[in-house]
Amino acid sequence: MLIKLTEVCTQGTYTTSQSNYALREIFVNPEHVVMIREESHLGRMNAQTSLVEGLERGHSFSKLILDKGRGGDVVVVGSPATIREALNKTSQQLLRG
């Protein structure tokens, strides 16, 4: 079962001194997440000035490390504890069914 998260992604190129960020929905298989850690750099940037219009300054961000497919990492909106709860909630629902 996939869970829906909100990814923080960059728009444009990395050559400019100011990055533009956008949000997009992604679907993640909880079984492929091997690590969740706080993405404090984006949290500090967002506290100073909102990364994306409409995004509250108090939001936390997490980096998910994935082990299947292309692998890699994804930065999502939410604290590590919040993301962990979302991943565990999906697992519990599967066990009941």
* pLDDT tens digits along 23-80: 999 999 999 999 999 999 999 999 998 888 888 888 999 999 998 766 689 999 999 9
The C-alpha R_g of the chain, in whole angstroms, comes to 14
- Asked whether 61 and 43 are in contact (CB, 8 A), the reply is yes
pTM for the whole thing?
0.80
Q: In whole angstroms, what is the distance from residue 62 CA to residue 75 CA?
A: 6
Residue ranges of the domains in the chain? Answer: 3-96
Phi, psi torsion values for 86, nearest 5 degrees? -65, -40
Q: In whole angstroms, what is the distance from residue 81 CA to residue 75 CA?
A: 14
